[in-house]
Chains A and B, each alone.
Chain A
């Protein structure tokens, strides 16, 4: 039967397609069609493209290799977690926004921290001037964290925190807030990003060099397996790699290569793979090219399952599952005609859902201009709700499986990503490939090519390089008051005046000793947090012991 399809396909190309495109009136729009990852796209896909393919390569939902999804019922059971990344200004303001989102039907929280917090500086540090409360909420001590979650029961929500270098400190604060609410750490549900490798490669909020950073990460894995068993201890992120300009294939390859490095580090630290791997989670971007994105999510799932089984010998099915959060691609939003972004986000969100995401953030239309307003965040959330409740795409599992094109694309992405991972292995793994600049160079190259294709007009961005209109200044953007820093400085002073300074000093000393030795760092960090040591004080102790990361060639 396959031979017959191949024959008829060849006949169609020769007798129908070729004469047709030879006619100048029916000439195709481009000489070459290809995806963002330069995968060539044929005019037509038929069963001949899936020749020799066994259905077992796809498998069934909830079973190896999880191409079709990690859950047996997927969205027939329950929808993905609708989780809008939010946080700005002070803990009070952000707490208000979280309550608004929960009241609007959001099902999980996602905390954005400001840059000083992400890099382990207190608001009163001179380096924090101008940045406090800007891209997220400012957290200086446990007191701020208590305010942030005031009136939000931590046993009822799941909370994702975009925090990397100081992830251990923020997790400790969350555990401490839980205790004050009477919620045991065993009940806490959520995620810390905790993915330092992509910070070196793409996002930039690193503090310590790779070696101690990997230790902090594996200490968190080890601590959580016993004490915070429902916590996702890392969110291995391709999102920022893609935002930095990578292709879809590179996003999969570099993310999974980072994942391999974390698993190797944890195994080397003496952990059993099946004890921590079920708590690993991933975070991907959903970009513009609808079908390539859907194929990407499915390919990533299949490739990771094989890596965990074949390379690490994982046995627990949960260790093999690539569970992931998705955010629509911020870099595709245009400052021009911002309402068009609602449509872009809809298409990207739909791709994430058809790709089987476990949770989703949809960007707001005004994010190329400023932080989103309450109204635009609501539209973004409503977009997810419309897909979930109205579109019907959630009523059967993995509805696009079997599409000749999609499956063929899925195979190409998996193969190309596996080839990249092989190259990275040959260099000695992801840490080496970042230290020698390979990953950064590959991303930069792709990003420049993308930008030049927009500037040449080869790639059309509606409203930006085609279909432009004259526009006035957008009105009603959200602004963060410069007074936030002053108020944070006052809060730090108040906390320092009230706390038991001897207790703080002893806790910081204990942390320093642990950092110099090999004990797990989580218990002394938790103890310091509970004494109201500030984030900056705790991170400074580790800076003193570990030093700071300096990128090569600066």
Chain B
């Protein structure tokens, strides 16, 4: 039997807007994945430790404060440092389109902006996880 896809939904940075993170967490659960939600104000270090400890296939980052250019690449970097670069990293939130190419270049696999149906996020994760 196939192992369920495991996802860590995480809120890096200081913003407390977790409506999106919670909705995505629940939608991924409804799509048959195992989801762990970190809660607010997680540092990249905390997120990466949780990802390794929980042995997840994907880290889904949510941020609305504008600190994505700083925090998203930091998570990718730390995963790499810890030899966990086979974990897929995706992100969502209020992220200007012009920032997306830069984030992708730094290793964020997909960026989902306001209005993205949750089904699309789930499908992206399913199709792109590197660990099978």
Contact = CB atoms under 8 A, between A and B. Distances in A.
B21 to A, nearest CB: 11
A444 B26 CA distance: 10
B105 to A, nearest CB: 17
A336 B114 CA distance: 9
B17 interface: yes
A480 B65 CA distance: 11
Given A245-B19, A473-B98, 16 more contacts: A115-B14, A115-B15, A128-B14, A130-B70, A131-B65, A134-B67, A135-B65, A202-B16, A204-B18, A368-B94, A371-B66, A444-B26, A451-B23, A455-B118, A480-B66, A554-B39
A244 B14 contact: no
Interface of B: 13-19, 22-23, 26-27, 38-41, 43, 65-67, 69-71, 94, 96-98, 113-115, 117-119
B77 to A, nearest CB: 14
A199 B18 CA distance: 12
A331 interface: yes
Q: Lowest 8 CB-CB distances: which A-B pairs, in order?
A: A204-B16, A130-B70, A130-B67, A115-B14, A554-B39, A134-B66, A473-B97, A335-B114
A135 B18 CA distance: 16
Interface of A: 115-116, 118-119, 121, 127-131, 134-135, 199, 202-205, 243-245, 331, 334-336, 368-371, 444, 447-448, 451, 455, 464, 473-474, 477, 479-480, 482, 551, 554
A369 B94 CA distance: 6
Contacts of A479: 96
Given A447-B19, A473-B98, A116 B117 contact: no
B23 A131 contact: no
Nearest to A133: B66
A130 B69 contact: yes
B4 to A, nearest CB: 20
A186 B22 CA distance: 44
Contacts of B118: 451, 455
B8 to A, nearest CB: 13
Given A129-B70, A335-B115, A455-B118, A554 B96 contact: no
Q: Which of B14, B115, B118 has the most CB of A within 10 A?
A: B14
**Interface majority SS on A: helix, strand, loop or mixed?**
loop
Contacts of B13: 115, 130-131
18 contacts: A115-B65, A119-B14, A119-B41, A127-B14, A131-B14, A131-B15, A131-B66, A134-B66, A203-B16, A245-B19, A334-B115, A335-B113, A368-B94, A370-B94, A451-B23, A451-B118, A474-B97, A477-B98
Contacts of A115: 13-15, 65
A283 to B, nearest CB: 16
Contacts of A477: 96, 98
A482 B102 CA distance: 15
Q: Which of A121, A245, A334, A448 has the most CB of B within 10 A?
A: A448
A328 B43 CA distance: 32
Contacts of A116: 14
A244 B115 CA distance: 16
Contact of B96 (A118, A135, A369): A369
